[in-house]
Amino acid sequence: MDTQKVVQSIQNKEARIGIIGLGYVGLPLLLEFAKAGFPVAGFDVDSTKTEQIAFGKSYIRHIPSSAIKQHLTDNPASFCTTDFSRITECQALLICVPTPLTAHRDPDLSYVLQTGEQIAPYLQAGQIVTLESTTYPGTTEEELLPVLEKGSNLKAGKDFYLAYSPEREDPNNKDFSTATIPKVVGGLDADSLAVATALYSAVICELVPVSNCRTAEAAKLMENIFRCVNIALVNELKIVFTAMKIDIWEVIRAAATKPFGFMPFYPGPGLGGHCIPIDPFYLTWKAKEYGIASRFIELAGEVNTSMPSYVIQRTMLALNQDGKPLRGSRIVLLGLAYKKNVDDDRESPTYAIWEQLLEHGALVSYHDPYCPVVRPSREHGHFAGVASISIDQVNAENFDVAIITTGHDNIDHDAIAKRLPLVVDTRGVCTPAPNVHQA
């Protein structure tokens, strides 16, 4: 392979960049390459996504349709398709597909491996394949590489380049975007790293090259495990301090004034999103292969997954003080998204709370301006199609209690607290009041 020629084609923006998986990671990345002047191609098995792009419409709330229309729909140098045979038209292939857990909390690499199987027959000599999906160390070389080589009759490092560069997408972050977040890159070999570095440096502000793919895979897991463990700690402290009648939010604000040695983390009803609830278990699973029990990570996972049950307990207590049982109570969940001001409901703890409330016989509705209808999912498919109620319906005539599960900025939670008998606040967004209970 002529590595210098490949690098030159990227630097000259002659290389077509293909993104596989047009979700919360892939679509922003596709836009960045298109904005930078590259010819781009988007691939997804979901035809509704490619069709909406063809009509200039965004299906992700924080990405404006105007950007889709300008850089993709009306751009003659771009196309989005479900036809994977057009992979032959690309110089670079970036895989941005989900890596969830199975029902037994084992890594589910099916999306990655199926993608590898789909692109392998069309893989061309001189192309670079980069995996962005979060996964355990060794996935790129031990799992993806054999699939690509078997289906293409090409050899990685000899006929095509292979790299790993973990996504660091944070939907709707006002301070950082895809282009302004430093990016870790690891290659199968020196040439793969050189091509991957040329590729990402064209659109990302700063690159962090590491010695190999395994190190890059481990770095992403460390980032998310760090957050998982610290969130578990503050969730546990919330339970302790609440029992002591101490406001955890006031404690955090006071501690955060220390200018060194402390980083604030915030409690909630559990973990949500595409990374933190899932990624730590990729490492605990892989660690067992080496005979190592990652007890600290597993304990953090236990604490965080127990938080929805704690919210139910606090709700029961609040209702009990008003002389009401949970069974038959009318409850509205304020927020379906896993974090505020986004439309991303993946792994949202609201679903776990919803499930438990129904098991206890409560009557449950939800309000979320960012998630007007529950989308189909394999975890909570029975909720698909349920619609958000309007904010005007959230009043004492319709509900006995509101549980604040997300804390969107465009909801006046204090106003809701004034017109409802009880509010259970899991996000610390309500002004303290007799009818407001922390959870």
Return the active site residues. Answer: 275
Tokens of 151: 């289906």
Contacts of residue 120, Cβ cutoff 8 Å, sequence gap at least 6: 147, 148, 149, 150, 151, 152
273 three-class SS: coil
234 three-class SS: helix
State the Cα angle at 149 between 147 and 154, rounded to 5°: 160
CA 239 and chain centroid, separation? 26
First to last CA, the chain: 59
Q: How far apart (Å, rounded) are the C-alpha atoms in residues 178 and 94?
A: 14
Give yes or no for a contact between 59 and 36, defined as CB atoms under 8 angstroms apart. no
Name the amino acid, one letter, at 8. Answer: Q
Of 85, 92, 172, 177, the closest CA to residue 128 belongs to 92
Q: How many C-beta atoms lie closer than 10 Å to residue 291's C-beta? A: 6
Tokens of 309: 């049950």
198 burial type by CB count under 10 A (0-12 exposed, 13-18 middle, 19+ buried): buried
List C-alpha distances in Å: 191 to 159, 162, 212, 332, 348: 11, 9, 12, 55, 40
H or E stretch at 358: helix 349-359
Q: How far apart (Å, rounded) are the C-alpha atoms in residues 22 and 43?
A: 7
